[in-house]
Chains A and B, each alone.
Chain A
Amino acid sequence: MDDKRRGLQQGDAPIVAPERLWRSLSERAGEDAVREARGHEFVPGAALPMDSAGEGDAVSRRRFMALLSATAAFGAAGCSTPQDRGKMVPYTKQPPEVTPGIANYYASAFQEGTTVYPVLVKAREGRPIHLTGNDAHPHSQGKTTLRAQAEVLSLYDPDRLEDWREGGKPIKKDAAIAKLVAALSDGPARGSRALLMTGAVLSPTRRALIEELKGKAPHLVHVAFEPVADHAARAAASAAFGDGPALAPQLDRARVVLAVEADFMSTLPDSARLIRQFADRRRVRSKEDGMNRLYCIEGRMSLTGSNADHRLQLRPSRAAAFLFALAWELHEKHRLPLPYGVDSSVLSSFKLAAMVESEKLPAPVVEALAADLAGHRGQAVVLAGPVLPAAAHTAAALLNVMLEAEGRTLDACALVPLATPEELRALRADLEQGRYSVAIFWESDPVYALPDGADWKRALVQVPLCVAIGPLATETSQACSMVLAANHWLESWNDFESPGGVLTLQQPLIEPLYPDALMQGEEILLACLKALGAQRPGEYYEYLRERWQREVYPADSPAPFSAFWEAAVHDGFVQRPVAPVVRTFNGAAVAAAARDAGLGDPAHPTSSSSAHSGFELVLHPDARTWDGRYANNGWLQELPEPVSKEAWGNALALAPVDAERLEVADGDLVEISAGEAKLTVPTLVQPGQAPGVLSLALGLGKSLGSIAAGVGVNAFPLVAAESRSPYLRTGVSLTRTGGKKKIIRTQEHWALEGRDADIIGRPQTLVQYAHGDHEPHAHHDHPTLYPEHKPGAEKWGMAIDLSSCVGCSGCMIACQSENNIPTVGPEAVDRSREMHWIRIDRYYSGDPAAPEVVHQPMLCQHCDHAPCENVCPVAATTHSPDGLNQMIYNRCVGTRYCSNNCPYKVRRFNFFDYHLERVREPQEMVYNPEVTVRPRGVMEKCTFCVQRIADARMRAKAEERPVRDGEITPACAAACPAKAIVFGNLLDPESEVSRLSASDRGFKVLDFVGARPAITYLAHLSNPASPEDDHAS
């Protein structure tokens, strides 16, 4: 416009045209008006002065401008941002280093049962979005369990309680505290007690707070209740050692591990650390490298058993006898001294040979086990699982003493007080008799998680005031009149005692999601404490800091406390001096335990056959929902159980021979009777399960929660109420009810169908490998019609060591969290529509009664000649210059041909708008902003965490250097406790991934297809005992 106008005014073009040119007939005719108008450059009024209103009451230009500005200003003033209305998830302590778009990492920690998980929380703009292990912490070393990783989703659980309620109606905080305080203070007057039930208290500060509260309210009874606890081990330890610290296994120092019903890779606490330590001792990079050796003795088929070099099937009730026999064998044959006070005549009746015969154990393996243990004193450890009766734990303790494991492969850790089953039963009786005037359940759910939960519910009616404190509604909170919503741990401060003198700090990553309503549980106690007259700060943060200044801060520290504190918060822990373990084995304990173990033992002279009637039932925490505390977490519910591959539920595992005998198949409903308890569950035929042994996971079958309700069955009623080995039931009977319930699995078929070499390569033993007498892996170098990709500076690739991978499935949750992978729900999983970008394929081979198991992580192979790429009609999946197989979501129309043509079937399709249909506020906050949330109708798959690649590349570019090897870690590799996944640049010959890809154990899955995958798998190595081998190294 300006140009045009300038053009008119420029040069020789006159404003008035020469007479001979005319623009209209009227102009030519010379009408005056036209002539007149032609003289004006602008329309009338345009040339008036700014303030002149012109004709009539028209608005002047200046006035118009003023009105316009005023309108805009008023409009803008009327708007407000959510920030104006209050605090919206600001930074807890505004850190100066926060830059929008750049992730920050904070150290924190949380507690699961009696275990502390130090974690590193990735936060974007104040939102925690991803969890890994704290890499600086000596225990986690960057790794953590899948349950810990999924906790970031629980933070944003839509079912979280948002306010405080009494009798279903909202109640003001002050009023609630006042009521609570009144109940606490007038209890003694009426001669009644007050109950505070919590989980295990690992926090010294929380413990101090409770003690202080008990000081102000002396009738307060504190009960630490954990639904899944090692009661039998505690009983055995207190008999054998008296009061003393507990022991934590350190597998990085063990060359021979004997795990007896001890699933340390999955359902035992701290599995990530144990897998890391275990895998570190078996990583083979050259023919000279050694491996540790894992013997498993178990009844149920556990993940640990599936990874054992030797797995022996034994009914758990016989474990004690076996271990005593083993101890005697070590003493008698291998000349290991018995501890002082152990009566050898008690042990001598346990004969290993007789045991081998009666239990049909393979004699050479048992002999090798004894020899291996005897040959590795100080480097061997015996782990006994919580299922086993106390006698077995005593036997294991005896073995560990004989093997000099304590202080070497076993470290001391604080023994956390826990209520025993007997104490809980007594407590219920007291509640029933009205001896309590107030009961506070702080993140504690006895109604769900105790075998007599229904009785507890009735007992609570007798208590005038029941209060539940916690972030979620529970079966217990339903029985409480007052429900006080509390913070999630990611919104809370705390500290925890970890083994080895480490004090771990928990810091909040986000202001409480419902800041007006929530406070952390400790603050409720603090409020009570203040109301009862103590001079204490209102905030737990202050309380914690004060206690640290008083008790943790070293008096001789040169640094001021604030610096000490800042450093501790930054690192997430402080290391404190630790006293060495001093435990004296009380030999007399063995006699009593041996007597217990001898009962019902045919190998023992005093045997009776009563134990042989009926099944033995093993109740174990679920690998995903554990004792039920994670049951409302969709990621965990949808995660397939690592061995059975069952998602969204639990089922009764039984041995193939038993299934045949009882004529039951997968999904047949059976009624279990154990004592008085009866429960109807679907069955699952589990290869490798010992005959006569049933197993069922605890922690499912909740009645509350939008995710948890109705998923699986609650097995807690089957737990033996007063026994010291509550998780093992004997004399269990099964009856078919005739009904069926579909078992939902992510993997329906588990035979390799003769395709072993193409899929899992050629597994070998260490001896075979060291001698080099193995068949080479097939490698096909087919000619191709497709042009080769032009090599750039980078070609990303991966190497996965099948020998290290134990199949724990931690990578799956890490990937789900990193890449905004939706859950699809049980019906969709049943229709094979799960969305996991990485899955763990689990294959059995050999005899179903005692199969070999292979775990194989399977993800997009980023093939050079990807079959998916050339069948996409809209070219939505293409190859990047750095070797990635890319998925372009906004081009994808969803023909699904790419998925059909993928030999690995790793592509996932959004059959519905899962993110709209299955995500409720505030769950969107868990999304990683670096990763597109995919709409329906779009194909998706592993990207090798391209956002992390881009991030590292940008950092490298800013620092003007190439990307360093190891700088990029995809979420799966970062999470893998076994470090089985190595990622890097295949074009860099020095990179770790290049060296591993060139390994003589390396092979490509389905190499013959010619797709040229970028992932090299290293074939599985096992380390069974063999005559020519000088035992484990």
Chain B
Amino acid sequence: MSLESAVERAFPARAPKSAPLSPARVDEQVLSITETRPPLSWYAAFAVAGSVMTMGFAMIGYTVYRGIGVWGNNVPVGWAFDITNFVFWVGIGADAHFGDIFLPAALAQRHRPLRGGHDAIRRHVRRHLPLIHTGRPWLAAFWLFPIPTSAAWGQFLLALFGTCSPFRLLHGVGAFLVRGAVARLASLRDRARAARAVIFSILSLGWTGSARHWVHYEKAYMILAGLATPLVLSVHSVVSFDFATSVLPGWHSTIFPPYFVVGAIFSGFAMVVTVLVIVRWAMKLDNLITMNHLDVMNKVILTTGLIVGLAYFTEFFIGWYSQALYEQEMFRLRMFGPYGWAFWVMFSCNVLVPQIFWFRAMRRSVPVMFAVAILVNVGMWFERFVIITPTLAQDFLPSSWGMFIPTIFDIGILLGSFGLFFTLILVFARVLPVISTTEVKMDLPGAQPHRTPSHHPPLPPLPRGEGAAAGGGGD
């Protein structure tokens, strides 16, 4: 079964017309990228992203040295950009889980090429954020990550504690090591010479591709998938509990878990589209990442955007319907208070802008989708900001109300987190295969000799459980 035929089965009318693929061609097209010199534009992009990242790290370094007073946080507003960034990046990262669970299976198979390294990168970006936001990160690192020592058992009533729990970390590492990467690295090793060969030999953990290896691989994949499935929903639900467990009007809300999960899918897809459009264009992968993929992803953005809008509406409706003074005031201030502008930025970007995807032509226009994806990312960052900062700025006692005004360090670290993300993406794109070649090859003709199309139903559910494991990461 060729790739084309698979796509044709999923989307009969819209199968791309391109040259037929073979396993060797996939390898050549994808793996050779890592073996050639990057173009000049890559260096330019790397210079920009790397500089921004370095600036971000320098600012983090200064923050650790001097104290988080260099940020704009204060006493009503204990959390601002720090936790906004954290939740934003967790949301971005969590999409890797959803991508595989919730997409139509045919797309999932095609989506597989898209995953691989991004989630690992995001995990790095987002893990450092909750750590540096603390007043004493060295102690926080010691007590919260990876194992709470007996010297300081944490507060088990708190979801935040679960966010940092060791199981998730170990799981994340294990999943990343086992999943796909090993086989892909082995493919690279097989093509490489000299030092590269040594490095990839080590990284591929002695993978030979023997049937026995594949059996173990599939088994491990199954187990991790089983472990990971609840994580898929829990990652952002747990993050949302971090807020919902409080007593603050605006945080203390039962809508938060689904609201956060949908928001995460929404922002995750937007970020994937952003990156994918660039990768697809820069590496000429139009035949592997087709317009149909992008179209479907844009539909997901539209759908989740509508759900996010519904969540906003529900929140506000319940705030009004509760007849609770503090709830009502909170939502009034959220819209018309001193941070009202942030609310309207969020609302426009997340609810209004994606409506353009009702039009097929817009869904299939690369510039439009790129712009929408960027705006959705902006909107989702503001969503987290709107939830966190204005809620704290104006809570119960008017006497303690106070504004948060970001400093250059707040802004620098926010930019730095994007710098880190894009730097790692750029490095990843040149060093590791951007597309999971082994998994693409599984779907190519002859890859699964014992699985004829009759055993392999075209649409969900997937026969193997690995899709669920694909997210794989803790946070």
Chain A interface (Cβ < 8 Å from any Cβ of B): 747-755, 758-759, 828, 831-834, 839, 841-843, 856, 858, 867, 870-875, 891-897, 899-901, 903-905, 907-913, 935-939, 1005-1006, 1009-1011
Contact = CB atoms under 8 A, between A and B. Distances in A.
Interface stretch (B34-42, B131-139, B199-207): B131-139
A909 B135 contact: yes
B155 A901 contact: no
Contacts of B61: none
A797 to B, nearest CB: 20
B135 A870 contact: no
A873 B396 contact: no
Given A833-B69, A874-B144, A895 B134 contact: yes
Given A833-B69, A894-B135, 18 more contacts: A752-B398, A755-B396, A831-B72, A832-B77, A839-B399, A842-B399, A873-B154, A895-B133, A896-B79, A896-B135, A904-B396, A904-B400, A908-B75, A911-B74, A937-B67, A937-B134, A1006-B396, A1009-B396
Interface string B240-257: 000001111000000000
B243 to A, nearest CB: 9
A1011 B396 CA distance: 13
B354 to A, nearest CB: 31
Nearest to A903: B396
B247 A905 contact: no
B400 A755 contact: no
B161 A873 contact: yes
Contacts of A935: 136
A893 B134 contact: yes
Contacts of A750: 398-399
A870 B158 contact: yes
A894 B76 contact: no
B328 to A, nearest CB: 10
B68 A911 contact: yes
A870 B161 CA distance: 11
B35 to A, nearest CB: 45
Interface in B116-141: 133-137, 139-140
A749 B399 contact: yes
B134 to A, nearest CB: 5
Given A874-B152, A911-B68, A936 B135 contact: yes
B402 interface: yes
A936 B67 contact: yes
Contacts of B74: 831-833, 911
B401 interface: yes
**What is the interface of chain B mostly: helix, strand, loop, or mixed?**
loop
B247 A1011 contact: yes
A752 B325 CA distance: 12
Nearest to B398: A749
B395 A912 contact: no
A909 B399 contact: no
B155 A870 contact: yes
Given A832-B74, A874-B155, A900-B79, A910 B135 contact: yes
Contacts of A897: 78-79, 160, 246
Contact of B76 (A832, A843, A871, A891): A832
Contact of A900 (B78, B140, B154): B78
B247 A903 contact: yes
Contacts of B399: 747, 749-750, 839, 841-843, 856, 858
Contacts of A896: 73, 78-79, 135
Contacts of B403: 748, 832
Interface residues of B, number: 48
B89 to A, nearest CB: 17
Contacts of B152: 874-875, 891
A893 B69 contact: no
Contacts of B376: none
B247 A909 contact: no
Given A873-B164, A895-B140, A936-B135, A1009 B75 contact: no
A-B complex: 7 closest residue pairs judged by Cβ atoms: A894-B135, A937-B135, A911-B69, A896-B78, A905-B400, A841-B399, A937-B136
Contacts of A911: 67-69, 73-74, 135
Contacts, number: 169
Contacts of A843: 398-399
Contacts of B133: 895
B266 to A, nearest CB: 25
A893 B395 contact: no
Interface in B56-82: 66-69, 72-79
Given A875-B152, A875-B154, A892 B397 contact: no
Contacts of B402: 748, 832
Contacts of A907: 75
Contacts of A912: 66-67, 69
A436 B446 CA distance: 114
B75 A909 contact: yes
A858 B396 CA distance: 13
A792 to B, nearest CB: 22
Contacts of A839: 399
Nearest to B133: A895
B392 interface: yes
B158 A909 contact: no
B197 to A, nearest CB: 45
B392 A900 contact: yes
Contacts of B136: 892-894, 935-938
A1010 B79 CA distance: 24
A678 B75 CA distance: 39
A423 to B, nearest CB: 47
A904 B329 CA distance: 17
B153 interface: yes
A912 B407 CA distance: 15
Residue of B75, B143, B161 most packed against chain A (CB within 10 A): B75
Contact of B158 (A759, A873, A892): A873
B157 interface: yes
B75 A759 contact: no
User: Which of A759, A832, A891, A939 is packed against the most chain B CB atoms within 10 Å?
Assistant: A832
Contacts of B247: 867, 901, 903, 1009-1011
A871 B392 CA distance: 15
A350 to B, nearest CB: 43
A226 B376 CA distance: 67
Given A873-B154, A875-B152, A749 B135 contact: no
A800 B324 CA distance: 28
A520 to B, nearest CB: 41
Interface in B199-247: 245-247
A759 B67 contact: no
Contact of A871 (B160, B395, B401, B405): B160
Nearest to B156: A875
A909 B143 contact: no
A867 B246 contact: yes
Nearest to B72: A831
A409 B72 CA distance: 53
Interface in B80-103: none
Nearest to B68: A911
B397 A873 contact: no
Contacts of B76: 832, 905
Contacts of B69: 828, 833, 911-912, 936
A267 B366 CA distance: 70
17 contacts: A747-B400, A751-B398, A755-B326, A755-B396, A831-B405, A871-B155, A873-B155, A875-B153, A891-B152, A892-B136, A893-B134, A893-B136, A895-B135, A900-B246, A905-B75, A936-B136, A1006-B396
Contacts of A751: 398
A750 B134 CA distance: 31
Nearest to B405: A831
Interface string B157-199: 1101100100000000000000000000000000000000000
Contacts of B134: 893-895, 937
A755 B329 CA distance: 11
Nearest to A888: B152
B182 to A, nearest CB: 35
